[in-house]
Every structure is written in C-alpha cells, then in structure tokens.
C-alpha cells in the first residue's frame, strides 16, 4: 500500500465547503485503506486552528475528533532527528516555507514518500532538496 504525507492545506480542502474531486478521491482511498496517510501531529494543531477560526472551538473539536476517529491516518510524533532535519531545511529557506511545511518535507524525505500539499512556494526549495522530494500538488476549489 502506498504511503503519503499530508499537509495542512490538503486537510483544509477536505474540511472546506468546496472540497475538490481530487481530495474526495484521495480521502476515499485513505478510508478504504488503499493509501496509508501519515499526518504530523503539528499539522493537526494547525488544522484545528483553521477550523476554530471558521467554526468556533466546540465545532472545531467535534470535526477534528470525528476525523481522527473515522479516517485511518497515522499520527506522527516529532522525533529529535526529524526536528533537526526540519530545522535545517528552515535554515536553508528562512522565508519561503512555514515550520510545518519544513517538518512535512523532512518527514517525506526521510521516508521517501510523496508529500501531498497545497504549498505554492516549493520552488524556493534548493534544487538538491527538491530533486529528492516527491510532490503531489492540490489547489483550492
């Protein structure tokens, strides 16, 4: 089964009123366990924050709890080597990417898995990193 890493943007599209066909198909594959989705725990924090801004704390809590209980995602803890690799990437690209993007990129590189993202600034990543990163990009509908 293929393994992928999801970023905040992909989950934000999933929770939006305008979920795209591509994200619906991806989430169906995850639910059917045709794809194993890894989500870093800090990504879930950011997703909660986005949901909270739109729906309020209680609804955000309910949406996130339903998601983690009903969708078979692998919640990934940060390890010291991952923290160091993500920090190194952030040092190399100080203004281009968020900390969470750097964590997801580091994780994807470590496992050699595709990074599913909505991030538009990936072109700012140094070529030696970008050449090793498998990226699947999505756009908001």
Q: Note the pLDDT of residue 95.
A: 75
Q: Note the pLDDT of residue 86.
A: 96
Q: Note the pLDDT of residue 92.
A: 85
pTM for this entry: 0.93
DSSP 64-117: HHHHHHHS-EEEEPP-HHHHHHHHHHHHHSTTTS-HHHHHHHHHHHHHT--EEE
**pLDDT tens for the 141 residues of the chain, in order:** 999 999 999 999 999 989 999 999 999 999 999 999 999 999 999 999 999 999 999 999 999 999 999 999 999 999 999 999 999 999 988 777 899 999 999 999 999 999 999 988 777 777 777 789 999 888 887
Q: Note the pLDDT of residue 58.
A: 98
Four-CA torsion 66, 60, 51, 47, nearest 10 degrees: -60
Q: Note the pLDDT of residue 12.
A: 96
Residue partners of 131: CB distance under 8 A and separation at least 6: none
Q: Note the pLDDT of residue 129.
A: 79
Reply yes or no on domain 3-137 having CATH 3.40.50.1010. Answer: yes
């Amino acid at each position: 089964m293929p393994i992928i890493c999801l970023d905040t943007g992909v989950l934000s599209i999933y929770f939006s009123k305008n979920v795209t066909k591509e994200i619906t198909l991806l989430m169906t594959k995850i639910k059917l366990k045709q794809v194993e989705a890894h989500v870093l725990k800090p990504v879930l924090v950011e997703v909660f924050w986005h949901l909270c801004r739109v729906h309020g704390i209680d609804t955000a809590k309910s949406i996130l709890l339903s998601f983690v209980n009903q969708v078979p995602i692998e919640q990934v803890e940060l390890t010291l080597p991952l923290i160091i690799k993500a920090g190194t990437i952030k040092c190399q690209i100080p203004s281009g990417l968020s900390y969470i993007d750097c964590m997801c990129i580091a994780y994807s590189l470590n496992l050699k898995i595709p990074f599913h993202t909505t991030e538009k600034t990936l072109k700012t990543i140094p070529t030696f990193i970008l050449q090793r990163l498998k990226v699947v990009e999505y756009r908001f509908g």
